A and B are shown apart, each in its own frame.
Chain A
Amino acid sequence: MAANSKHVVDFGHIKSTMSDPYKKPVQLIDENGKIVNKELFDRFSDDDLVNLMEKMVWERALHEQTMNFSRQGRLGFYAPTYGEEASEMGIAHAMKKQDYLFPAYRDLPQLIQHGATVKEGYLWSKGHYQCYDYVRRGVRAWIPQIIIGAQYVQMAGAALGIKKNGEKDTVAYAFTGDGGTSQGDFYEGINFASSFQAPAVFFVQNNGWAISVPRKTQTAAETLAQKGVASGVPGVQVDGMDILATYLVAKDARDFAVAGNGPVLVETLTYRFGAHSSAGDDPSRYRTKEEEKPWFDKDPLIRLRKVLTDKKLWDQDKEDKLVAQYKDEFKQAMKDAEAAPKQKVSDFLKHTFEVPTPDVAADIEKFQAKESK
């Protein structure tokens, strides 16, 4: 990709002056599909644009098919990603294989882009130990964190580990949402990484809602990006419905961190189109159609689809075929997930400690006897 001649965001300047650019969200294409920054837009080749569109279509299809499985009762906990495709895929596109990823529960799409499989995502949702096979395969990604904030402090440790191991061109990423920025661990993670000047990029995907609690209740701070400032970490906002802007900012953030400049905080402005989770959350209880409408108009697929269609790089037929192909793959992944072997409690017990304690050993025997019946 040609997009490396000049940086979009001058993180060094923000860091040294703690000035205000973090308040001006970076944008390349607006919600009507109008190119608002031609110079930056021209950095993308046609292939790049198509590739990014395909990734968003993939994530949207994954969401739709996964919701279907969820309604059929074939999954456990699932956090919908509908609306956040530009934010998630823009960031994922900037990651390199050697980077460490510390996701939260809404980040399965990035996790899969980084090397996990859809089948593993489904096993995670259903609750099966093989969901973490990607770690065994050497994919540098940790678990989709449930305790929000924990991924931030752990990622600071991995970033310090990268630095101590002397690994070049490697960075650690952590994800959270707007609600996550209220956790003490959010600040501790950023501050530790900053104190050690470790190669860390922290993402806040601000989708407006933490279940039913709106962004404005989380903090009176004007932006979430500015939360980095207090710990000496440059923060920036990006239009998280614009995949081109998100990608460029994520790439700049990575470049800045791997160059030894310390961590970066990126806030993507996006929206949770759907419910918090597939388990009975009903957004109509706490937000209005009037609030949702302008965000649906900002749908990240609409604007890039328009740009690509205008450039004759995309048409509905191509998209329909892709969606059908992806959904077939997800159906197969679900079949594979459903064929996972029955789990044994005795195996879980074996992995409580490296060497089972006498009490655990007695329980292993007890369960093995039950399991052999």
Chain B
Amino acid sequence: MAKLTYIKAITDGLDQVLQEDPKTLIFGEDVGKNGGVFRTTQGLQDKFGTDRVFDTPLAESGILGLSIGLALTGWRPIPEIQFMGFTMEAVDSIGGQMSRNRFRMSGDVSMPITIRTPFGGGTHTAELHGDSLENMFVGIPGLRVVTPANPYDAKGMVISAVENNDPVLFMENLKLYRSMKDEVPEGHYTVPLDKAKVAREGSDITIVAYSAEVNEALKVADKLEKENISVEVIDLRSLSPIDTATIFASIDKTHKVVIAQEAQKMAGVGAQVASAIAENDIMSLDAPIGRVAAPDSIFPFAMAENDWLPNADDIEAKVREILNY
């Protein structure tokens, strides 16, 4: 097994699905000859040709509208939206169109579209490049929203997303692209799209996180272990649907929970997790639900990003607060 970066693991997964299914197509801005602005699709056009991997005009609504028409004519599109902030241009295609088509056709039409898009703060990008916009999308019925937190999951989940017959918004974390390596198996394997993972077992408190915050949570767990505090970390992986069973099983054991996300606090993923716990498993808790999230403000100017983004220190402080309640 090779040690791969998160981004190379995704490239590997895309290579795999292009090999296995001749109906798969990769397209978007700069994904062809240039291999994507981050090189996620590096080498794929050379290997599979310009009919399968191609550049499009610069228009996100066009790219996702194109995906719908291609899906209706028998293709399995894997469009890239260059940065998640740019999905704002294509909200109708996602929420008004592709996610509704199975319902419209009573199950007789599938929209096997995987929208890959990078997101996430900490790399000091231009405006609307690093925003975490998942809170906008998790409220759309018929759309899966997933995000891997490590290279192994990245490859297995991108293969699962492409093989899934429903539209999947596949969020790739910019900061993780080249900052971590994992053992990643060669060839075909899948990681389920709707199952959370216990990233680290523990018994005193549960941290529910996803994407880059999983790594922040793991840092906290390492640090507190030295004080004999045992932290369980759950990586949601799927933001819609949310695997509440794994969360409930954990808090039934730890009786305390902190939910950490990089996105703003209003509504969205963390709020949904808190609500699900409050509705179904509140009696397991012996302390309030703790939340760590970005403030409800605009994603900041790049030079101030690190002051705004929630990090391991914020999670640690919240964990201590809940433990000492």
Give the B-binding residues of A (Cβ under 8 A): 100, 102, 129, 132, 135-136, 142-143, 147, 150, 152-162, 164-165, 172, 184-185, 188-189, 191-192, 195, 347-348, 350-354, 357-360
Q: How far is B242's CA from A359's CA once the two chains are assembled, in angstroms?
A: 9
Q: CB-CB contacts of B4-41 with A at 8 A, as 1s and 0s? A: 00000000000000000000010000000000000000
Q: Is B295 an interface position by the 8 A CB rule?
A: no
Interface contact B166-A132, CB-CB below 8 Å: no
B109: A residues at CB distance < 8 A? 135
Interface contact A354-B92, CB-CB below 8 Å: no
Q: CB-CB contacts of B192-235 with A at 8 A, as 1s and 0s? A: 00100000000000000000000000000000000000000000
Q: How far is B97's CA from A360's CA once the two chains are assembled, in angstroms?
A: 20
- Select A157's contact among B70, B106, B108, B244, beta carbons within 8 Å: B70
25 of the cross-chain contacts (CB-CB < 8 Å) are: A136-B105, A147-B96, A153-B61, A153-B93, A154-B68, A155-B69, A157-B65, A157-B68, A157-B69, A157-B71, A158-B70, A158-B72, A158-B73, A161-B73, A161-B74, A165-B73, A165-B74, A172-B69, A191-B59, A195-B57, A353-B142, A354-B110, A354-B164, A359-B241, A359-B244
Minimum CB–CB distance for B199 against chain A, Å: 21
Give the A-binding residues of B (Cβ under 8 A): 25, 51, 56-57, 59, 61-62, 64-75, 92-93, 96-97, 102-110, 141-142, 144, 164-166, 194, 241, 243-245
Q: Chain A residue with minimal CB distance to B65?
A: A153
Q: How far is B297's CA from A139's CA once the two chains are assembled, in angstroms?
A: 49
Q: Chain B residue with minimal CB distance to A200?
A: B69
A160: B residues at CB distance < 8 A? 66, 69-70
B70: A residues at CB distance < 8 A? 157-158, 160-161, 164
Given contacts A157-B68, A351-B106, A192 and B92 within 8 Å (CB-CB): no
Q: 8 shortest A-B CB distances, which residue pairs?
A: A157-B69, A153-B65, A161-B73, A188-B62, A158-B69, A357-B241, A157-B66, A351-B107
Minimum CB–CB distance for A250 against chain B, Å: 21
Interface contact B66-A351, CB-CB below 8 Å: no
Minimum CB–CB distance for B209 against chain A, Å: 21
B51: A residues at CB distance < 8 A? 164
A188: B residues at CB distance < 8 A? 57, 59, 61-62, 65
Interface contact A191-B57, CB-CB below 8 Å: yes
Interface contact A147-B97, CB-CB below 8 Å: yes
Q: Chain A residue with minimal CB distance to B102?
A: A351
Minimum CB–CB distance for B136 against chain A, Å: 17
B56: A residues at CB distance < 8 A? 192, 195
B105: A residues at CB distance < 8 A? 132, 135-136, 351
A132: B residues at CB distance < 8 A? 104-106
Given contacts A150-B97, A192-B57, A357 and B194 within 8 Å (CB-CB): yes
Q: How far is B56's CA from A343's CA once the two chains are assembled, in angstroms?
A: 41
Interface contact A154-B241, CB-CB below 8 Å: no
Minimum CB–CB distance for A41 against chain B, Å: 37
Minimum CB–CB distance for B10 against chain A, Å: 23
A158: B residues at CB distance < 8 A? 69-70, 72-73
A129: B residues at CB distance < 8 A? 104, 106
Given contacts A157-B72, A164-B75, A358-B245, A353 and B62 within 8 Å (CB-CB): no
Q: Chain A residue with minimal CB distance to B243?
A: A358
Interface contact B73-A100, CB-CB below 8 Å: yes
Interface contact B245-A157, CB-CB below 8 Å: no
Q: Chain B residue with minimal CB distance to A353?
A: B166
Interface contact A184-B57, CB-CB below 8 Å: no
Minimum CB–CB distance for A362 against chain B, Å: 11
B75: A residues at CB distance < 8 A? 161, 164
Contacts A184-B61, A192-B57 known; 20 new A-B pairs at CB < 8 A = A102-B69, A129-B104, A129-B106, A132-B104, A150-B65, A152-B65, A154-B72, A156-B65, A157-B67, A157-B72, A160-B66, A161-B69, A164-B75, A165-B73, A165-B74, A189-B62, A192-B65, A352-B142, A353-B166, A359-B241
A164: B residues at CB distance < 8 A? 25, 51, 70, 73, 75
B64: A residues at CB distance < 8 A? 153
B72: A residues at CB distance < 8 A? 100, 142, 154, 157-158, 161
Interface contact B241-A189, CB-CB below 8 Å: no
Q: How far is B71's CA from A225's CA once the two chains are assembled, in angstroms?
A: 29
Minimum CB–CB distance for B206 against chain A, Å: 19
Interface contact B241-A358, CB-CB below 8 Å: yes
A150: B residues at CB distance < 8 A? 65, 92-93, 96-97
Interface contact A192-B66, CB-CB below 8 Å: yes
Q: Chain B residue with minimal CB distance to A172?
A: B69
Minimum CB–CB distance for A227 against chain B, Å: 15
